[in-house]
Amino acid sequence: MSQISINHDEVDIVIGALQLDLKSFMEEWRPVFSQFHLIIVKDPDLKGELEIPAGFNFNLYTKSDIDGVVGSSSNAISFSGYSCRYFGYLMSRKKYIICIDDDCIPARDSAGNFVDAVAQHITNLSTPATPFFFNTLYDPFCKGADFVRGYPFSLRSGVDCGLSCGLWLNLADLDAPTQALKPELRNTRYVDAVLTVPARTMMPVSGINIGFNRELVGPALLPAFRLAKEGNLRWETVEDIWTGMCVKVVCDQLRLGVKSGLPYVWRKERGDAIESLKKEWEGVKLMEDVVPFFQSLRLSTSAATAEDCLSEIAAGVKEQLAPTNPVFARAAETMVEWVKLWKRVQTQ
């Protein structure tokens, strides 16, 4: 599907290593990953040496690197677990970042072809998005498609795409209660579409398979929303959902697009939904407050950069959500610290 010629120098692939053995993950992705520069960040809580196969061009960051860079802010910002990837985003200087969870391997499309998820994300990010009016034939810039009758001509040049959200075959990104209720449920439906999520429409962004334009929205991908009993399975987190809503608000404010759909990755089975469910419902409960907050958020017209937007979002969180639960107060603080850290590191 990719018609774009990719400048590999513009791309970093960030890998958050939550397990020591990266060999099978990287071997599966070798045809794709071997063409790019990789940033591998080891979960600072993980003890032991990472096993990385030969033949890749990468930089590795571990706890000592994180502590060295982050310094005094390390009290506010945790890079444990899934959040280790954000350190990778901080270190990157490339235009595009692609990030895929280390329990996902390449998928095959309905014709049995290998899906190059990186190429598809880059295509999504480097072609315009159309958030201001819905196109019923989905992505109009895709080969074989176009804008339909009734689509205003003034909106046909589209806007830049800030975020590309991919999907998952096999184990979809369902929450623990849903998966526990339907333990056999596997996603086998390959939906051959990319679409722009309309402006002002909120969505749950899964961190499992994403790409973004670091130059446009970089700081908005932040580690802020940490559950009290957050674990190393996606069922035990909602940090990416929070981050995704921040990114969507930023994109809506800055008139950028967010796309959803292709590419698919194949997500392997890991963990036990019922065990995760026994631990904690916190994330699921908190969404009831999080979603209405983001849906009603309005930023000032002077918020013209991602950093400005994040500061206003953090202020809103502190004022409206923090009184209801300490997790929100921490999130607001972390967001402020992160923006400072981002500015400091990015200008070095």
Partner 1 sequence: MAGATVKPTPLLKDELDIVIPTIRNLDFLEMWRPFFEPYHLIIVQDGDPSKIIEVPEGFDYELYNRNDINRILGPKASCISFKDSACRCFGYMVSKKKYIYTIDDDCFVAKDPSGKDINALEQHIKNLLCPSTPHFFNTLYDPYREGADFVRGYPFSLREGVPTAVSHGLWLNIPDYDAPTQLVKPRERNTRYVDAVLTIPKGTIFPMCGMNLAFDRDLIGPAMYFGLMGDGQPIGRYDDMWAGWCTKVICDHLGLGVKTGLPYIWHSKASNPFVNLKKEYKGIFWQEEIIPFFQSVNLSKECTTVQHCYIELAKQVKDKLSQVDPYFTKLADAMVTWIEAWDELNPSGDDSAKPVNGTAK
- Residues within the interface to partner 1 (CB under 8 A): 110, 133-138, 142, 144-155, 165, 167, 172-175, 178, 181-182, 185, 187-193, 197-206, 234-235, 238, 241, 244, 260, 284, 287-288, 291, 295
Q: How far is the CB of 180 from partner 1 (least distance, A)?
A: 12
Q: How far is the CB of 134 from partner 1 (least distance, A)?
A: 4
Nearer to partner 1, 252 or 337 (CB): 252
Q: How far is the CB of 95 from partner 1 (least distance, A)?
A: 25
Nearer to partner 1, 159 or 202 (CB): 202
Lookup result for tokens 């061009």: 57
Q: Are 254 and 219 in contact (CB under 8 A)?
A: no
Q: How far is the C-alpha of 100 from the C-alpha of 89, rounded, in Å?
A: 13
Nearer to partner 1, 3 or 64 (CB): 3
Type of residue found at 291: V
Q: What is the DSSP letter of 223?
A: -
Nearer to partner 1, 80 or 187 (CB): 187
Nearer to partner 1, 86 or 138 (CB): 138
Q: How far is the CB of 53 from partner 1 (least distance, A)?
A: 31
Alpha helices in the chain (DSSP H): 23-33, 63-70, 84-91, 117-126, 176-181, 214-217, 239-253, 273-279, 282-296, 306-316, 326-346
**Paired strand residues for 41:** 16, 61
Residue 261 half-sphere exposure toward CB, CA atoms < 13 A: 17
Q: How far is the CB of 239 from partner 1 (least distance, A)?
A: 10
Q: Are 223 and 312 in contact (CB under 8 A)?
A: no
Q: How far is the CB of 179 from partner 1 (least distance, A)?
A: 9
Nearer to partner 1, 193 or 315 (CB): 193
Q: What is the three-class DSSP state of 119?
A: helix
Q: Are 146 and 4 in contact (CB under 8 A)?
A: no
Classify burial at 325, counting beta carbons within 10 Å of its beta carbon; exposed 0-12, middle 13-18, buried 19 or more. Answer: middle
Q: How far is the C-alpha of 151 from the C-alpha of 145, rounded, in Å?
A: 13
Nearer to partner 1, 160 or 239 (CB): 239
Q: How far is the CB of 296 from partner 1 (least distance, A)?
A: 12
Q: Are 118 and 36 in contact (CB under 8 A)?
A: yes
Q: What angle do CA 247, 250, 254 make, to 5 degrees?
A: 140
